Amino acid sequence: MDALTPKQVVKELDKYIIGQNNAKKSVAIALRNRWRRQKLPLELRDEVAPKNIIMIGATGIGKTEIARRLARLAQVPFLKVEASKYTEVGYVGRDVESMIRDLTDLAVKMIKDSETKRVGIKASELAKERLLDMLLPPAKNKTNDKEKEAQIKRTREKLRMRLDDGKLDKRMVDLEVKNHTMPMVEIFSSSGIEEMGINFQDMFSKMMPKRSKQKKSTIKEARRIITQEEAERLLDMDEIIRTAISKVENSGIVFIDELDKVAGSKSHSGPDVSREGVQRDILPIVEGTTVATKYGMVKTDHILFIAAGAFHVSKPSDLIPELQGRFPIRVELSSLSESDFEKILTKPRNALIKQYIALLKTENVKIEFSKDAIREIASMAFKVNQETENIGARRLYTIVEKLLEDISFNAPEKSGKKISINAAYVKKKMAGFVEDIDITRYIL
């Protein structure tokens, strides 16, 4: 985090996202403020609340990608949810507190994976010793025969060398493995198992006796299984959970998409009946409350919430005033221009053209796009977005997939060939497709 200055964050986001500089700047500042808060004296640290952000803009222009890349960059727990799947208490749908439970689950897995890697070398060494014991069982009764002991030691070292060289990988051994099968339990609850507040899996695992079974396995597979078991033994789950909860409370990011779907005046009928109720349920989570999870209580006071929505029909001012006040930073993302589409196709590290070139390369088919072909694809995507529904950069997926459909289908038979795609090829392949889209404007 020390190295992630706001300028550095924007620079990293630029590698994957074209344009939207205002949004990048806002999230970069928000991320840096979290680092700054950790440097404050304890009495002042608790008083500094995160500056939550609302991103306003059409679909497919980079709202979700900005938040996701930000979390990956900072290596913090990140959860994306849709506001429309939550409902007011009394209606069918997920309880809003489940977003914090899910975030905590992700954090625990994240810390556990990190710790497993950290103890990996030691776990591998312990697994090796267990395998050597299986291949050359130690003597049950100790003897004073030093020559015999030295011989056993030499044999063990030879086995160790062969094990390290992979010469014993295919050899079969009898392995005792733990049986992790748990009894199936069904719980009938309108709110779902998350409302029960009990970790049933842990409860039953403690009640049921530990069982193991014998299985035949290659040494290579046995080594993997035993290494996992040894890593589990080396982990301190209590410390992992404490670290994960701290990470969630101080660094967690929740991205609430489709917030505009729960904005607006209260409807009197239909599926939108609980829209304002959802806002009122989200409010305490964003304001700061304590949520019960299977790992313990989690405070949401300093979790960063980034909301997003197209706000075509509604607008941010249609949200209840209390919720508006909890999102002080508003960023309007600009629609993508034809020039932006060109850059999206080629510039980012995960650019669409790069992806398709790599995919077809696996079939030993080399494809090349000329500059005028990329320009034509971008122009077509921009035109279709203007004339029909504007779905932003996602339109490029539809067009490029259709453009390369025949090449992808026949790729196994074209191994070793080089295919050049120019503007004329794009126009020829996409002529009927664009006409079909134009017709959709006149179909009810």
Q: Is position 210 within any domain?
A: yes
Q: Is position 160 within any domain?
A: yes
The predicted pLDDT at position 96 comes to 85
User: Is 444 a residue whose pLDDT tops 50?
Assistant: no
pLDDT band at 428 (very low <50, low <70, confident <90, very high): confident
Give the tens place of pLDDT for each residue, 339-397: 988 998 988 888 889 999 999 999 999 999 999 999 999 998 888 888 777 788 888 88
Domain co-membership, 132 together with 224: yes
The predicted pLDDT at position 440 comes to 54
Instruction: Give the separation between CA 330 and CA 317, rounded to whole angstroms.
Output: 11
Domain co-membership, 301 together with 280: yes
Residues 19, 62 contacting (CB under 8 angstroms): yes
Residues 298, 248 contacting (CB under 8 angstroms): yes
Q: Is position 165 within any domain?
A: yes
Instruction: Give the separation between CA 24 and CA 26, rounded to whole angstroms.
Output: 5
Residues 162, 128 contacting (CB under 8 angstroms): no
Tell me the average pLDDT across 149-157: 81
DSSP helix/strand/coil, 290: strand
Percent of the chain with pLDDT over 90: 22
Q: Which residues contact 282 (CB under 8 A, 6 or more apart)?
A: 83, 86, 96, 256, 262, 323
Domain co-membership, 214 together with 289: no
Residue 226: both structure tokens together: 């035993």
The predicted pLDDT at position 144 comes to 65
Domain co-membership, 229 together with 157: yes
Domain co-membership, 351 together with 284: no
Domain co-membership, 218 together with 249: no
Least confident of 42-51, 99-108, 241-250, 427-436: 427-436
Instruction: Give the separation between CA 349 and CA 115, rounded to whole angstroms.
Output: 29
| DSSP 8-state assignment for residue 299 | E
Domain co-membership, 230 together with 249: no
Q: Is position 155 within any domain?
A: yes
**Which of 332, 356, 373 is the endpoint of a domain?**
332
Q: Is position 442 within any domain?
A: no
Q: The domain that contains 36 carries what CATH number? A: 3.40.50.300
Q: For 256, left (φ over 0), alpha (ψ -120 to 50), or beta?
A: beta
DSSP helix/strand/coil, 151: helix
Instruction: Determine the structural domain holding residue 346 and report its residue range.
Output: 338-436
**Which of 234, 259, 289 is the endpoint of a domain?**
234
Instruction: Give the separation between CA 190 and CA 84, rounded to whole angstroms.
Output: 18
Q: The domain that contains 397 carries what CATH number? A: 1.10.8.60
Residue 42: both structure tokens together: 């304890």
Of 79, 444, 118, whose CA–CA distance to 293 is shortest?
Answer: 79
| DSSP 8-state assignment for residue 324 | H
Please tell me which of 128-137, 310-319, 411-420, 432-441 the model is most confident about, judged by mean pLDDT. Answer: 411-420
Of 78, 80, 115, whose CA–CA distance to 248 is shortest?
Answer: 78
- The CB density around residue 98, as the number of other CB atoms within 10 Å, is 19
Give the tens place of pLDDT for each residue, 106-138: 999 999 999 988 988 898 888 888 888 887 777
Domain co-membership, 229 together with 247: no
326 or 201: which leads in pLDDT = 326
Residues 79, 413 contacting (CB under 8 angstroms): no
Instruction: Give the separation between CA 222 and CA 24, rounded to whole angstroms.
Output: 48
102 or 264: which leads in pLDDT = 102
Q: Is position 371 within any domain?
A: yes
Please tell me which of 141-150, 252-261, 310-319 the model is most confident about, judged by mean pLDDT. Answer: 252-261
| DSSP 8-state assignment for residue 40 | S
User: Is 305 a residue whose pLDDT tops 70?
Assistant: yes
Instruction: Give the separation between CA 118 and CA 235, rounded to whole angstroms.
Output: 10
Residue 94 phi, psi (nearest 5): -80, 145
Residue 91: both structure tokens together: 């209606």
Domain co-membership, 163 together with 214: yes
Give the tens place of pLDDT for each residue, 182-230: 554 444 444 444 444 445 555 555 555 566 777 777 888 888 888 888 8
Residues 9, 37 contacting (CB under 8 angstroms): no
Residues 51, 67 contacting (CB under 8 angstroms): no
Tell me the average pLDDT across 257-276: 66
Tell me the average pLDDT across 287-299: 92
The predicted pLDDT at position 141 comes to 64
Of 15, 37, 26, whose CA–CA distance to 250 is shortest?
Answer: 37
The dihedral of CA 232, 235, 239, 241: what is its sign? negative
The predicted pLDDT at position 190 comes to 40
DSSP helix/strand/coil, 386: helix
Percent of the chain with pLDDT over 70: 83
**Which of 234, 250, 279 is the endpoint of a domain?**
234
**Mean confidence (pLDDT) of the chain:** 82
Residues 219, 171 contacting (CB under 8 angstroms): yes
Residue 143: both structure tokens together: 């003897």
The predicted pLDDT at position 442 comes to 45
Q: Is position 168 within any domain?
A: yes
Give the tens place of pLDDT for each residue, 416-427: 899 999 999 898
Residue 243: both structure tokens together: 């670290």
Domain co-membership, 101 together with 72: yes
Domain co-membership, 190 together with 161: yes
Give me the number of domains the chain comprises.
3
Give the tens place of pLDDT for each residue, 36-72: 888 888 888 888 888 899 999 888 888 888 888 888 8
Tell me the average pLDDT across 303-325: 87
Q: Is position 1 within any domain?
A: no
Domain co-membership, 265 together with 408: no
Instruction: Give the separation between CA 96 and CA 195, rounded to whole angstroms.
Output: 11
Q: Which residues contact 148 (CB under 8 A, 6 or more apart)?
A: none
